[in-house]
Amino acid sequence: MIFKYQLGTDGEIYQDALSIRRAVFIDEQDVSESLEIDGNDEQCWHVVGYLDALPIVTARFYIFNQSDKLCLKLQRIATSASYRRQGYGRALMEQVIEWAHQQKISQIHLSSQIQAIGFYQTVGFNTCNDAIYLDAGIEHQDMIYQVNKKVL
The answer to whether residues 125 and 144 touch, using CB atoms and an 8 Å cutoff, is yes
In a domain, 75, yes or no: yes
How confident is the model over 130-141, as pLDDT tens digits?
A: 889 888 888 999
- The CATH number assigned to the domain holding 96 equals 3.40.630.30
> Is residue 150 over pLDDT 60?
no
The total number of structural domains that make up the chain: 1
Residue 149 pLDDT: 64
Assigned domain for 151 exists:
no
CA distance 113 to 152: 22
pLDDT tens digits for range 12-61: 999 999 999 999 999 999 998 888 888 899 999 999 999 999 999 999 99
The dihedral through the CA atoms of 121, 144, 129, 140 has a sign that is negative
User: What residue numbers bound the domain in which 133 lies?
Assistant: 2-146
